[in-house]
Amino acid sequence: MSDITKSNVLSSLKKIQSDGFDPNILTLNSIQSLELKSNELSLKLSFASQVSSEELKQKIEAQIKSDFPSLQKINIQLQTRSTSSNISTHNDPKKDAILPGVKNTIAVASGKGGVGKSTVAVNLAVALAKDGAKVGLIDADIYGPSVPLMLGIKDKPKVYQAESSLRMLPLENYGVKFISIGVLVDDKAPIIWRGPMASGAIKQFMTDVEWGELDYLIFDLPPGTGDIQLTLVQTIPLTGAVIVTTPQEVSLVDARKALMMFNRVNVPVLGVIENMSFFIAPDTGKKYDIFGSGGGERICKELNVEFLGGIPIDPRIREGGDNGVPMDYDQSDSEYARIMIDISRKLTEQVNIRNANQNDKIEIIL
């Protein structure tokens, strides 16, 4: 390499190999500042890592010197963060009995189909994992499982005999552990089950899968407010729910119903994500509000919940889902990836606020 730009430095950093360091989490935003004066490079970096700062600094310096031999001096200011250590735990005996080792359980829901809920759930899970969290994903949309396609996995989960029952190991890709009915049956076979059978599958995904230690276990729920939603909230106390909607009123009507359902069953709504918020024409840069504007924010003000963010329409999002490579992983320097990271961090803030409030209530009762 010759030109010392943010992009070239990022490419250099992605070559680093070290236990506990995942180069796939790096984006241009990881390079907070870059200054070059008289063959002296000053870098300020910030990203999630399990590697000690001093060890990582040495490896970064060695890699950059190798790629940019003309540099005489390299000054590195490194801030490493482990998102996992900053995530609070939803303490509940019933949850801990069913899902030991899982800090938080979050439902991603929508009042109606066609709003891109599964795409949002997958990319949200990947964004949380990129930021250092340990993430699991249950594809709870039994009749229309799409998570295996979006995560690019066709393998079958491994099954082993535990002391008293069979256990499954979740599949994993892009730092996200997941399970889906789509990897257990023929992908061309329709699921023709009555409600109790579908609900039973969701229970098994919780009790019979070896999830291990997780900061988040995310449930990609089917649209609406039916059997699977009720089974989930009756089986474990959820940390909270996230509602996905699009801006137009026809979607907001059903989003309100989904939000009110969670309120009735005492599940906190952590926020609303507005999908397909706008479209930026690639040739002119002009912004188009294809489905209207501001609907997600209006419903948040109306029902007093947090607006987590708006996601633009981008053909590459669809392409990533079809090809099994989530866009916020494959194009980590895109505006879309930045938005998903911002949404994931706002969600973490809401989880921490919710858990802090819960712990305060417990202390008062005691």
pLDDT confidence band for 363 (50 / 70 / 90): very low
Give the model confidence (pLDDT) of 146-171 as tens digits: 999 999 998 999 998 887 788 999 99
Number of domains in the chain: 2
Residue 138 belongs to some domain of the structure: yes
Which of 22-36, 93-107, 272-286 is least confident?
Answer: 22-36
CATH of the domain at 231: 3.40.50.300
pLDDT of residue 359: 62
264 lies in the same domain as 186: yes
> SS in 3 state form for the chain?
CCCCCHHHHHHHHCCCCECCECHHHCCHHHEEEEEEECCEEEEEEEEECCCCHHHHHHHHHHHHHHHCCCCCEEEEEEEEECHHHHCCCCCCHHHHHHCCCEEEEEEEECCCCCCCHHHHHHHHHHHHHHCCCCEEEEECCCCCCCHHHHCCCCCCCCEEECCCCEEECCEEECCEEEEEHHHCCCCCCCCCCCHHHHHHHHHHHHHCECCCCEEEEEEECCCCCCHHHHHHHHHCCCCEEEEEECCCHHHHHHHHHHHHHHHHCCCCEEEEEECCCCEECCCCCCEECCCCCCHHHHHHHHHCCCEEEECCECHHHHHHHHHCCCHHHHCCCCHHHHHHHHHHHHHHHHHHHHHHHHHHHHHHHC
173 lies in the same domain as 284: yes
Owning domain of residue 284: 86-350
pLDDT confidence band for 350 (50 / 70 / 90): very high
pLDDT of residue 165: 81
69 lies in the same domain as 114: no
Give the model confidence (pLDDT) of 126-144 as tens digits: 999 988 899 999 999 998 8
Residue 1 belongs to some domain of the structure: no
Residue 358 belongs to some domain of the structure: no
Residue 366 belongs to some domain of the structure: no
pLDDT of residue 83: 62
pLDDT of residue 82: 56
- Give the chain's largest Cα–Cα span: 71
Residue 222 belongs to some domain of the structure: yes
The answer to whether residue 227 scores a pLDDT higher than 70 is yes
pLDDT of residue 362: 43
CATH of the domain at 70: 3.30.70.1350
Q: What are phi and psi of 275, to 5 degrees?
A: -95, 155
71 lies in the same domain as 98: no
64 lies in the same domain as 149: no
Nearest to 107 by CA among 271, 264, 326, 298: 271
What is the pTM for the complete model shown?
0.79
44 lies in the same domain as 129: no
277 lies in the same domain as 335: yes
Residue 304 belongs to some domain of the structure: yes
pLDDT of residue 144: 86
Give the model confidence (pLDDT) of 83-108 as tens digits: 676 789 999 999 999 999 999 999 99
pLDDT confidence band for 1 (50 / 70 / 90): very low
pLDDT of residue 364: 36
11 lies in the same domain as 108: no
128 lies in the same domain as 207: yes
pLDDT of residue 16: 87
pLDDT of residue 201: 92
90 lies in the same domain as 76: no
The answer to whether residue 342 scores a pLDDT higher than 60 is yes
The answer to whether residue 365 scores a pLDDT higher than 50 is no
The answer to whether residue 174 scores a pLDDT higher than 80 is yes
65 lies in the same domain as 99: no
Residue 35 belongs to some domain of the structure: yes
Instruction: Write down which residue in 50, 81, 112 finishes a domain.
Output: 81
Residue 25 belongs to some domain of the structure: yes
pLDDT of residue 37: 86
18 lies in the same domain as 115: no
The answer to whether residue 264 scores a pLDDT higher than 70 is yes
Cβ distance 224 to 262 under 8 Å?
Answer: no
